[in-house]
Structure formats: structure tokens, C-alpha cells
Structure 1
Amino acid sequence: MNGRRLRATVSRTLGAWETTAAHQRAIALVGLGAVLAALGRRPDLLVIVAPIAVAAVWGQLARPRATVEATARLSDVTLREGQAVALHVVTEPVVPDAHGVVTLARVPFVDRQSGSGIALLDDGTATLGVRSTRWGRRRVGTVSVTLTSAWGAYRVGPEELPDLDTATLPVPAAFDASAPTPHPRGIVGLNRSNRPGSGSEFNTIRPFHPGDRLRRISWPVSLRTGTLHVTSTFTDEDAHVILLVDAFSDLGPREGIDGRPTSLDVTVRAAGAMSEHFLRSNDRLTLRTVGAAEVPALGTGSGTNHLRRVLDTLALITPASERRDTGEHALRGVDPNALCLVLSPLIDQTMVSLAHTLAARGMTVVVVDTFPDHLVAGTGDVYQSLAWRMRLLSREAQVSSLRLRGVPVVPWRGPGSLDQVLRDIARRSSAPRLSRR
């Protein structure tokens, strides 16, 4: 499903009109009543079956001849988690005095707004509401259409239409960072560089040089000294951020946007939140996924259009669909001067090894721990609690090995999660270093 286009509109011919069991019973009852009235000389029986005969004849004369085609259409195929969309069903041509019923089957992570998922066709149209509760590519439940003619004499269907598809984008979690992104090296952005130039952050006041802008003149200092002085600033540059998303694990019950998140829910929503923050700061961003099949590597980009591409790529993730992935493709062509953020619950050893590999290459690596706390809180099963305790001890050893190598491991807590570690990285990069002469 990840490799094909989304289907927003589907159509299917409902087939030939067939007599209903009620119409057949009416014809049989009228015939039987007429025979008994003739054999038994009972005209009262004819009076009794006369209304049934009228309904049967009326239904026979009103038999539809046209072939009806049903069309189902979604008002939008790209949703956000928790967003509702309208499902419109239309039958053409409109059959006079016909009644129709549309039913929608129940599927995981798609709620039917009408409750029972049943709607009546009014003048050949019906509308159902559906709501997607979890990110990813979703199939709307099977739509079934049934039409009956006047007096229920003829029926077409129930006929199932092809499934419709939706792409549900993850809702980015709340995230904000007041610390600047380390290693700014681009042309435009909001991060302060160490070099003076055109920017917004104050550097110093110096004498006027040819080529300086007049609006930079500091008139109080110029009047006091008698010579022109200008205000100089630090140049603003953009940084390069690489997001490495762990798709090996999806721990916890899948309850959607209305329930508790799984580990992959936390990872995907955190990736969306970080992407939104850095891209709105005019930084460049690259997204790589490990452990998921048929998810393309998203190249470097910036701006709101790139944010939409990031969310579309995250919606393609199918957890643990490529268990043999070693992550080598994710490390190809990475910028050695970029800030690499590894988002993982640190359950699979592959992600820990990738973090060690990136650190060994001299890259700036930060591991964002997306393990949800509710998985081990209040576990009623004794054996499950013991298993989690043993696994967490092994996980703690892996986290310690990363920290001993100089790779910070930061738990995901939403806004401010990366402030302290980004400040430490910026302070470390500006510290003096030994060099050979």
C-alpha cells in the first residue's frame, strides 16, 4: 500500500436488478388465493389478497431498467491524527421511488462518526463521517451499497465498492528549543555565527568604513567622539540537522491519538515536532529511517514544503518491516558537520551501534530517548514486570556505553528537551583546542 497512489474516488456498477423474496412471496400468495377462491367459491379470499395483488402489480410495473453505478468519494485524502473527513456516496442515475442503504465496515484506527456506520440514500446521495485516529496509510472500511425499488419488489446489491485510502500525517508534539543549533555553516538562517556580518545580534561598535549601511550608524557614539561609528553584528546562518528515526520497535498497545502512545508514536511525533521547529528556524533538515521497508530517504531541504514532505515520509513507516536493515544506507552521504539527532527507544541494538558509528566518525550526535514511561508503570503481571526489569538493566548498560563515548542521551519531554544539551555542544565547539604546529 505504501508504494501506490491514494484512491480518493472509487466507482462500481451495482449489477442487474433482481426480484426480492418479498415480491416473490406476494406473487405466490396472490396466485394461491386466486386458486383457492376459484376452487372453493370464496370471493372473500379475492378481497383479502386484492391489496397484495395491487402492491405486486405496482412493484412489477415500476421495475427499474437502468444500470446503476455507485461512486464513493472522500472529501480529503490527507488528514492529521484525530481529523474527520466526509465520505460521500452517489448513485447514478437516480431511480424514482427507490430506497437505498449505505454501510461502512469497521476497520482499526478509523472511527465511524455515525456510530453504526449506516446511512440512507436520499435522492441518490448519502454522507458518512470517518475519523482517523493514528498516523500512517489507512484504508477506509469497505463501503456497501444496496438499492430497492418501489414496494421492495426489486433489489440491486449489496455491492461492495473498492477500498478508499487516506494518508494520516502525525500530529507533531509540542516542542521548542531556546538554544541555538550548533555548527551553523549556511547562508541564511536564525543561528548566530561567530563571524561578524549582516545579522540581528549585536557584536560591537566600530569606526565607519566605506560600504557600511547608513542605518547602522550609531549616532550617540558618533556625536560623542566626533567621528562616524557603526554598530556591527554577528552574521545569521543556517545549520544542517539530520534526523535518524528508529522504526524497529513499536512497543505498547496501539490506542491512537485518543489513548496512550506507543514507542513509535512518540518517535514519529517527536520527529515531526523537531522538523517543524528546525525548518521554521530556516535550518536545513534531512530525514533517514532505519528498520522500515519502502520508506525513501528524504534529502536535504528547508521551508514549509519540506516539512510536508517530512510528515508524508513519516506516515509511510511500517514498524519492523525490514529487520535486516543495518542502517548503512541511512549513513550514506551524511554531512560530517551536521547535527545528528537519533530518535529511538533504545531497544534494538542496531540503533545503539549506529550512534557509536556516527560518534566514531567525529559527528555531533545526540540520542533522543523516546521510550514511554507508561510501559513499565503499574504492570500487574509479575512475570512481565520481571522481564521489563531485566530488559531495562540491559538498556541502561547500552545508554551508559553511549555516554562514556561522549554521546548525550536525552529523554524526550517535549519543549525544552534539547536546550541544555545544545548549549553544552555550542560551548564545547567554541572552547579552545590543542593543535599541531
Structure 2
Amino acid sequence: MPRRSTDAPGRGDRQSVSAPTELRFRPTPKLAVYLALAALGLLTALAIGRPEPAVLATPVALAAVVGLALPRPEAVGVAWELERDRATENEDVVLTVRIEATAAVGTLELAVALPAGLTAPRPQRLQGVRIDRAGAYRFDVPVHCHRWGRYELDSLWIRTRSWFDLLVAEHRHHQPLVLRVYPRPASLRRLVSPRDTHTAAGSHVARAKGAGLEFADFRQFVPGDRVRDVSWKATARTGSLWVAQRHPDRAADVVILLDVFDEPELATAVRAANAVATAYLVHRDRVGLVSFGGLMRWLRPGMGARQQYVIVDMLLGTSVFDSVAWRDIDAVPPKALPPKALVIALSPLLDRRAIGAIIDLRRRGIDVVVVEVSPLPFAPATPGVNGEVAHRLWQLQRALVRDRFAELGVPVVVWDPRRALAVTIEEIAAWPTARRLVR
């Protein structure tokens, strides 16, 4: 039901009602039927010379005349706004429609068209209400976000009818609204440890020795060492002062390489990229993103909440751009791909350009791990013996690609989207860091 708007100006109203829109009425089929019946009765009465047909047509003609003579609303002001322009999957966002009526409108019909991925209950999305006097009215439509993405809402239709439904006026309100729906990140209990770190404090144990918590080694005491670093147990056993060395906790550069050559696996890969980026940013690492495909985009590594929003906005705009041109990792600027960064590639390993880019990174000495987004759920075997044989040969070919990566020291773990991403990350993290050294 509509509510008279009583909001204080400026508070809770980010969008004011637009200037009144002129309502242009046009005849309905009902008016044509009324006029045809009136004309038929009059002509029949003249033809047969009797008044009965004209008398029968008089109520119809009178209804048409009265319906056209009664006053009609000339204009209404329309505006709509979203409760917020960002949401997460499976959340609800309230879409508010405001109507400013300068006179009685009568029955007003509202229709909100939503893109695929957003839904709303039919009674709220399609409404027919009575507006019997001038004033401001408000309608709330709860919009449910089913799937991540960037959505543009630009279809709000209003329709009103005159008395006896003889005339109708329709208007499409064109005021685009943008709603960004973020993927709901998966919970990752463990992350892949980077091979190299930088000097900033973080959550990863560095290979270098310094002030930290993780034990590294013992060495003899030298002037300048702190007393609290002395290992009294080792000193008691040997009779001389020994110092316990430790590994410091450092931050790292992490770059997510997203393969956008193939459409079916893209939505799953984007969801995984969001979860991985969020987890590393929480651990105070610098995270960057490279969208590697027909259209290449990249984002330099950064940290903090702002970087998380920038990454997610970039992921929402990710799409497949068909191109047969050969793409090389050289197109990515060095600042977007630091030499000591940990590169986490999310790829179905279907396109030779993506496979070649990962191998090229490895040969340059960059630490690379691969999460293979399994295409098997999207490409089942064709029924029949030939289809089964072809499907097995295809899987053997994919196994050869994994073996090639293993020879280069690149961990490859297959992730079935039906399985939790945290399990796959655990398998990669179980690889010893020493096995990821350049061979």
C-alpha cells in the first residue's frame, strides 16, 4: 500500500522527486468499441426508421462523452532511489519509488522491471493503487540479490487510466540506478605462504632472520645482542652465551591472475578471486589483480579496505572479450606484477595463451601457484562410446599439462566448484615452499 511521504527534506532522501512529467493520454480499444456501438445504434435507427436502436446505444454514447469530458491528471512527478548502492549476495535492498501528484490521479499502476539476478515479490513489483488527492506518495519494493554483478535499473513504468478506462497514459521513467552486488567471500582458514616477503610487518614467516616469534637457529652471543634474546637453556648446557635467532613476521605481495578467456568457468573463478583477495588483505598483505584475456586489465598491489573495494569493483566488471590475438604477460606493467610477488592463477587451463603466460612467469623466477577451476562440471561427456573415449582423451591431455607444471615446480590443484574452496587452498598450502623454487 502507498504511504504519504512525511520524510524531512534532506534526511534519508538522496534523490528528490523529478519535475512533473506530462501525461499524454491515448485512446484505448474500449473507447473504440463504445464509439462503434453508438454509431451502429444511430445508423441502425436511421436505416429502419425506428428509435429503439438509438435508445439502446444512448447509455454507451453517454458513457463515452462523460468519460472524455471528466478532468484528467496532467502531470505527475516521479523519482526512485535505492536504500544503498552496494550489497552482498542473498541480501535485500529496498527500492523506494516516490510519486508527487499535483491532483487526483485515480488508479495508478507501477511496474518495476528488474534484470536477471535480482528479484522482487510480484505484489510489490507490480502495484495498482488509488491516488484520490494531491500529495507525495511512497512505495517500497524489496529487491533480493541472488547473484553478484553490476546491475543497472532503468525500467520504471507508470500507467493511469481515465474514467471508464477510455483513455490511458503511460510513461517510462528514465533515471538509471546502479547496484553493485558483491560475491559472498568464502572462509579460508589457511593461506598459501609466499616464498618472498618485504620489510613491512605482516602475518607470514620470512626466510630471513630477525626479530620475530618463529624459531630459526642458535648462534653465539656477540656484543650488541639483546639480553632477552639469550637462550638460557642452551647457555646452561654449553657454558657460554648463546642467542636464539628467529624468523620475523612480514607482509607479502600477492597478485591474482584471473583467466578470462573462457565464459562458463568465469563466474566461479571470480568468486574464488574475491575470497582469496579478501583473505590476504585481512592479513595485511598487498594484493593486486591481473585480468588476463582478450581484454587485459590490471591493478597494482595495494592494501587496506579501499583496495578491497577497488578489487571487487574490478571483478564485477570482468567479462569475456573474444579475441584470437596472442596475449603475452609482457603487456602487464612491472609495477602491477612485482618480481617477488606470489602469483595465484585462477584458470581452467583451457586456453594456450593462459597456459603460456603461467609458464613464462615461472621461467622468470616468479613464485606461481595454480588453482585449476575444473571445467568438467560444465563439459560432460557426450553420450555414446565415442563421446566417452573423447572425454577420457581430453582428461589425459589435461593431466599432461599438470605434469608439465609440476616439472617446473608449479603446484596445480584442481578445484571442483561443488567443493569448498578452503579445501583446495589447504592442498596448495601443504606444498613445501622449497619445492616452489626455480629449477
The reply to whether TM is greater than 0.5 is yes
- The aligned counterpart of 2:329 is 328
3-state SS of 1:273 partner: helix
In structure 2, the gaps of 5 or more residues are: 1-14, 132-136
Give the residue type in structure 1 aligned to 2:119: D
Query: Measured at CA, do residues 159 and 119 of structure 1 come closer, stay the same or move farther in structure 2, by a change above 3 Å?
Result: same
Tell me: CA distance 1:172–1:14, structure 2 relative to 1, closer, same or farther (3 Å).
farther
CA positional deviation for 1:237: 0.9
Deviation at 1:395, TM superposition (A): 2.1
Match of 2:278 among 276, 279, 302: 276
Aligned: 1:342 with 2:355: no
**Where do residues 325-404 of structure 1 align in structure 2 (5 Å cutoff)?**
326-329=327-330, 331-333=332-334, 334-375=337-378, 380=383, 385-404=388-407
Which residue pairs with 1:311 in the alignment? 312
Give the match for residue 244 of structure 1: 257
Amino acid at match of 1:276: T
Gaps of 5+ in 1: 1-7, 252-262
1:203-250, CA deviations, whole angstroms, 9 ceiling, x for partnerless residues? 68998998969xx699x99xx99xx99998542210111111000012
Contact persistence 2:209–2:248 (CA under 8 A): yes
1:90 aligns with 2:103: no
Distance 1:43 1:428 in 2: 99
Structure-2 separation of matches of 1:378 and 1:115: 43
Q: Secondary structure at the match of 2:119?
A: strand
Kept in 1: contact 2:95–2:140 (CA 8 A): yes
2: CA distance, partners of 1:313 / 1:426:
30
**Does the CA contact (< 8 Å) of 2:88 and 2:182 recur in 1?**
yes
Counterpart CA distance in 1 for 2:142 and 2:242 is 66
Instruction: Quote the residue 2:170 is aligned against.
Output: 157
Query: Residue 266 of structure 2 aligns with which residue?
Result: 264
Task: Note if contact 1:81-1:134 (Cα within 8 Å) is conserved in structure 2.
Answer: yes
Could you tell me how far apart the structure 2 residues matched to 1:69 and 1:385 are? 63
The question of 1:186 aligning with 2:188 is answered no
Residues 98-123 of structure 1: per-residue CA shift (max 9 Å, x gap): 21222344644343432895222454
Task: Specify whether residues 390 and 211 from structure 1 end up closer, same or farther in structure 2 by C-alpha distance, changes over 3 A only.
Answer: closer
Supply the distance in 2 between the matched residues of 1:355 and 1:28 (Cα, whole angstroms): 75
Amino acid across the alignment from 1:426: T
Q: Which structure is higher in RCO with an 8 Å CA cutoff and minimum separation 6?
A: 1
For the residue of structure 1 that corresponds to 2:122, the secondary structure is coil
Residue 163 to residue 393, structure 1, CA distance change in 2 (3 Å) = farther
Please say if 1:426 is aligned against 2:433: yes
Paired residues for 1:77-116 under 5 Å: 77-105=85-113, 107-114=115-122
Q: Does 1:53 align with 2:90?
A: no
**Percent identity of paired positions between Structure 1 and Structure 2:** 24
Tell me, in whole angstroms, the C-alpha distance in 2 between the residues paired with 1:211 and 1:115: 75
Helix, strand or coil at the partner of 1:241: strand
Cα deviation for residue 19 of structure 1 reads 4.2
Q: Secondary structure at the match of 1:245?
A: strand
2:130 and 2:343 map into 1 onto residues whose CA distance is 56
Partners of 1:237 and 1:427 lie apart in 2 by 18
What is the CA distance between 1:328 and its match in structure 2? 2.8
In the TM superposition, residue 368 of structure 1 has moved relative to its aligned partner by 1.2
Contact 2:182/2:312 (8 A) holds in 1: yes
Amino acid in structure 2 at the alignment position of 1:190 = S
What amino acid is aligned across from residue 238 of structure 1 in structure 2? A
Alignment partner, residue 134 of structure 2: none
2:261–2:351 contact (8 Å) kept in structure 1: yes
Distance 2:378 2:67 in 1: 65
TM-score of the aligned structures, taking structure 2 as reference length: 0.74
- Residue 373 of structure 1 deviates from its aligned partner by 4.0
Q: 1:121 to 1:324 in 2, by over 3 A?
A: farther
CA distance in structure 2 between the aligned counterparts of 1:89 and 1:203, rounded to whole angstroms:
64
How many residues get paired? 405
- Deviation, structure 1 residue 87: 3.3
Is 2:257–2:346's contact at 8 Å kept on the other side of the alignment? yes
- How far, CA to CA, are the matches of 1:78 and 1:121 in structure 2? 30
For the Cα contact (< 8 Å) 1:178–1:416, is it kept in 2?
no
Is residue 41–residue 54 contact of structure 2 (8 Å, CA) maintained in 1? Answer: no
2:395 partner SS: helix
Offset from partner CA, 1:373-429 (integer Å, 9 cap, x none): 423557646665454333323222222222122222112351142345445443458
> CA separation of 1:174/1:381 partners in 2, compared to 1, >3 Å: closer, same or farther?
farther
Inter-partner Cα distance in structure 2 for 1:370 and 1:41: 83
User: Which residue of the partner structure matches residue 260 of structure 1?
Assistant: none
Q: Is the 8 A contact 2:37 2:60 kept in 1?
A: no
What secondary structure does 1:68 align onto?
A: strand
Which piece of structure 1 moves more, 76-85 or 400-409? Answer: 76-85
1:162-218 C-alpha deviation (Å, 9 max, x unpaired): 6644333233334331664332223121112344544454668998998969xx699
Q: 1:63 aligned to 38, 60, 72, which one?
A: 72
Select 1:407's aligned residue among 406, 410, 413. Answer: 410
> Displacement of 1:365 after TM fit?
1.2
Q: What is the distance in 2 between the residues matched to 1:189 and 1:21?
A: 72
Change (3 A) 1:350 1:179: closer
Letter aligned with residue 313 of structure 1: M
What's the RMSD between the two structures over aligned residues?
A: 4.4
